[in-house]
Amino acid sequence: MTARIAVFASGRGSNLQALHTYLERAGGAEIVLVASDRAASGALTWAHDRGITTSTLGSGGDDARAILHLLATSRIDSVVLAGYLRLVPAEVVRAYRGRIVNVHPALLPAFGGPGMYGARVHRAVLASGTRVSGPTVHFVDEVYDHGAIIAQWPVPVFPDDTEAALAARVLRAEHLLLPRVAHLVALGRITVHDDERSRGAQAARERAAFLLATPEDDALAESMAGAVGA
């Protein structure tokens, strides 16, 4: 049976598109619902143009009952936050524990939390002087950017980087990482456990699989090798 994914997005939706492209090839799961807290979001327009069901969440996206109703009526198995800026209500997190993932454009637990989104994240990374950044995909819990980390990819930070250049480099890695993780979560191959050790072992195995599967973006693979091997 094909797993049914909902994507929540506030912005232009490039991660949504990357996930859609990946799932078309990988199979086993499909995006059946795209929801946004912003009626003007590019993600909604893109989904609507492709005949995917869309929904605008009420102001602030904090109406738990409305979200739960939406997910239930669409028979959603897992939820992907792809550039979604609102906190998911606790009732929704509880109902879908271990089935909601988020992509964050920095290496958590650094550079995360309330107010750390978009250009602010990359500005903070540049100001810190760190040489490595990159996306994190993690399970969503009741606190911003706090749930169990599933996978991260290193991306170099160059001395002459601008926020825009760093954001673009990290975004390319997001487009490779998020679809793989979201696919495996949708298929039930990555799960959140109460036991930290078994969770860590599981995550490590899955991470190894991602690293073996990266060469489709040669330029990014080269820059990643430079970042970790230098």
Kindly list the catalytic residues: 104
Q: Is 7 in the site for ligand GRF (CB under 6 A)?
A: no
* Cβ closest to ligand GRF, residue 78 vs residue 102: 102
Count the residues in the chain: 230
| CA 16 to centroid of chain Cα atoms | 9
Instruction: Decide if residue 117 touches ligand GRF (CB under 6 A).
Output: yes
| CA separation for the pair 38, 55 (Å, rounded) | 10
For residue 115 the two structure tokens come to: 């107010």
Cβ closest to ligand GRF, residue 18 vs residue 93: 18
Q: Kindly indicate which of the ranges 11-19, 71-79, 146-154, 195-203 contains the residues binding ligand GRF, using the contact rule CB under 6 A.
A: 11-19
The angle subtended at Cα 86 by Cα 165 and Cα 137, nearest 5°, is 55
Whose tokens are 């990482």? That residue is 177
Sign of the torsion angle spanned by Cα atoms 134, 135, 139, 141: positive
Q: Tell the smallest beta-carbon distance from residue 136 to ligand GRF (Å).
A: 9
Q: Does residue number 145 form part of the binding site for ligand GRF (CB under 6 A)?
A: no
Residue found under tokens 């991602």: 210
- Tell whether residue 12 is a contact of ligand GRF (CB under 6 A): yes
Residues that bind ligand GRF in the complex, under the rule CB under 6 A: 9, 11-15, 82-83, 103-105, 117-118, 171, 174
